[in-house]
Chains A and B, each alone.
Chain A
């Protein structure tokens, strides 16, 4: 997917810092996500990828730096403005995070409760839920409980929920972690299909090299809380840097 870099990025992090006590997890991380782009941030477990993505959506308070989503500095927004801005972002959690006391239908309807009218969405809940579930091939599972679904199905339902408000940006936190190779491929293909269909921008946090190879337009390697290297998959694979080589060899 070709992105237009002449216009402002839809998502921007500048010198992001976050510490937990003496442990500096992010030490000035920078990132720009452009419209229509699929950006993958890779790094070892514990390198601060998930912390970064949580700071980005306001689930964690960054210690320093700037976070801009569609031009809005989220640290300057009130709760109401932040909630409205969040409707433009879909978030796929590492463990799916489906509400286990609700059916699949109720899970998908949940984000619609507060924001459907504000976003001037005219379709009925039923239509929206069915469309989102058809996108992930799970229309038959509409009345099942999350506990009745396999791990891969849960991830697909979570993806459908992330899409329900038709966001412009989708954030994926380790989308293939804990899944078998075949289901991982299905999820990756689904992510590509959705990206093409809805022309969304995507930020993917992963340590799955296969996932990055198949889906990324650009990759940032996060090492010790800072941007270590940036480029396309092919560029990084050819790199002679020992840290990059070690990462992509595994």
Chain B
């Protein structure tokens, strides 16, 4: 009888957690649109999350574009279709690979960072100290971080996609003697609004998910350093799963609205 009981208790804790995260998200919307607003902290978080992720996102994007083009080139050449390379790479990167890869990278860097930071603040009573001083810690710590990830992730994804296309263009230039101008002319010819708009919209949701889960895990971190580690780790695991679920839903919604 142990098996069914274990499954039951796991199912209960799973759905309890889903409920708690939903309540946490609703509280975010309630607090985000009520005074006082923490603009200075929001800007600081945008800087931390956005600016400090640029190098990682840039390097990842560059290598992504480079490798993707190098790997695809022989197959396209086999069919005599290497001229399709700019359009194939740009559509793949802008529509799917860029947003998902960069969001996963950011889940690792930003989500775990937020989980660990808030977790250690919880464990060392800094969040309690904030509350006792008459400041709403949810508004100051959680709302600003979720807003910053929601606003910064689309920008990071646009930046990463652009660098990835430059990486791809470099390979095409070296291997196929395609000029940078010709490559980007092909890219802009291939890309449509139906590629760019859904990808941009879903990147806001990716950013929201990264901030939400990181903050939730850190804010309700259990006592002790083990709890901080777990908060950081589970923030990445939960966010990664959530990103794929959001992506899956986004593909369906895009299919309805844009008839891809």
Rounded to whole angstroms, the CA-CA distance of A58 and B128 in the bound complex is: 10
Instruction: State whether A89 touches B132 (Cβ < 8 A).
Output: yes
Residues of B within 8 A of A94 (CB): 125
Distance in angstroms from B219 CB to nearest chain A CB is 14
Rounded to whole angstroms, the CA-CA distance of A87 and B50 in the bound complex is: 35
Pick from B129, B135, B136 the residue with the most CB of A within 10 Å. Answer: B129
Q: Which of A99-133 contact B (CB under 8 A)?
A: 99-101, 110-111, 113-115
From B36, B128, B135, B136, give the contact of A97 (CB < 8 A).
Answer: B128
Instruction: State whether B134 touches A99 (Cβ < 8 A).
Output: no
Residues of B within 8 A of A161 (CB): 133
Residues of B within 8 A of A65 (CB): none
Interface assignment of B51: CB less than 8 Å from any CB of chain A: no
Interface assignment of A95: CB less than 8 Å from any CB of chain B: yes
Closest A residue, CB atoms, query B133? A111
Distance in angstroms from A1 CB to nearest chain B CB is 24
From B36, B117, B128, B135, give the contact of A93 (CB < 8 A).
Answer: B128
Residues of A within 8 A of B36 (CB): 114
Instruction: State whether A97 touches B124 (Cβ < 8 A).
Output: yes
Instruction: State whether B126 touches A91 (Cβ < 8 A).
Output: no
Instruction: State whether A84 touches B134 (Cβ < 8 A).
Output: yes
Residues of B within 8 A of A91 (CB): 129, 132
Rounded to whole angstroms, the CA-CA distance of A97 and B124 in the bound complex is: 6
Residues of B within 8 A of A79 (CB): 136
Interface assignment of A98: CB less than 8 Å from any CB of chain B: yes
Interface assignment of A57: CB less than 8 Å from any CB of chain B: yes
Residues of A within 8 A of B128 (CB): 54, 59, 93, 97
Residues of A within 8 A of B129 (CB): 91, 93, 97-99
Residues of A within 8 A of B134 (CB): 83-84, 86-87, 111, 114-115
Rounded to whole angstroms, the CA-CA distance of A87 and B135 in the bound complex is: 10
Rounded to whole angstroms, the CA-CA distance of A165 and B135 in the bound complex is: 13
Interface assignment of B255: CB less than 8 Å from any CB of chain A: no
Rounded to whole angstroms, the CA-CA distance of A57 and B130 in the bound complex is: 12
Residues of A within 8 A of B126 (CB): 97-100
Instruction: State whether A59 touches B132 (Cβ < 8 A).
Output: yes
Instruction: State whether B125 touches A97 (Cβ < 8 A).
Output: yes
Residues of B within 8 A of A83 (CB): 134-136
Residues of A within 8 A of B17 (CB): none
Q: Which of B20-51 contact A (CB under 8 A)?
A: 36
Interface of chain A: mostly helix, strand, loop or mixed? loop
Rounded to whole angstroms, the CA-CA distance of A232 and B125 in the bound complex is: 31
Distance in angstroms from A3 CB to nearest chain B CB is 24
From A57, A58, A98, A111, give the contact of B135 (CB < 8 A).
Answer: A111
Closest A residue, CB atoms, query B41? A113
Instruction: State whether A86 touches B132 (Cβ < 8 A).
Output: yes
Instruction: State whether B125 touches A93 (Cβ < 8 A).
Output: yes
Distance in angstroms from A80 CB to nearest chain B CB is 9
Pick from A54, A97, A110, A114 the residue with the most CB of B within 10 Å. Answer: A97
Rounded to whole angstroms, the CA-CA distance of A98 and B133 in the bound complex is: 12
Interface string of A36-70 (1 = CB under 8 A from B): 00000000000000000010011100000000000
Distance in angstroms from B134 CB to nearest chain A CB is 4
Instruction: State whether A59 touches B135 (Cβ < 8 A).
Output: no
Residues of A within 8 A of B133 (CB): 86, 110-111, 161, 165
Interface string of B109-129 (1 = CB under 8 A from A): 000000001000100111011
Rounded to whole angstroms, the CA-CA distance of A95 and B129 in the bound complex is: 11
Interface string of A174-211 (1 = CB under 8 A from B): 00000000000000000000000000000000000000
Distance in angstroms from A198 CB to nearest chain B CB is 17
Rounded to whole angstroms, the CA-CA distance of A165 and B133 in the bound complex is: 9
Distance in angstroms from A90 CB to nearest chain B CB is 9
Given contacts A54-B128, A89-B132, A115-B134, 14 further A-B contacts (CB under 8 A): A57-B132, A59-B132, A83-B134, A86-B132, A98-B126, A99-B126, A99-B129, A101-B117, A110-B135, A111-B133, A111-B135, A113-B135, A114-B36, A161-B133
Chain A residues packing against B (C-beta within 8 Å): 54, 57-59, 79, 83-84, 86-87, 89, 91, 93-95, 97-101, 110-111, 113-115, 161, 165
- List 15 interface pairs A-B (beta carbons < 8 Å), by A numbering: A54-B128, A58-B131, A59-B131, A83-B136, A86-B132, A87-B134, A94-B125, A97-B129, A100-B124, A100-B126, A101-B117, A110-B133, A110-B135, A114-B134, A114-B135
The 3 closest A-B pairs by CB, nearest first: A97-B129, A83-B134, A111-B133
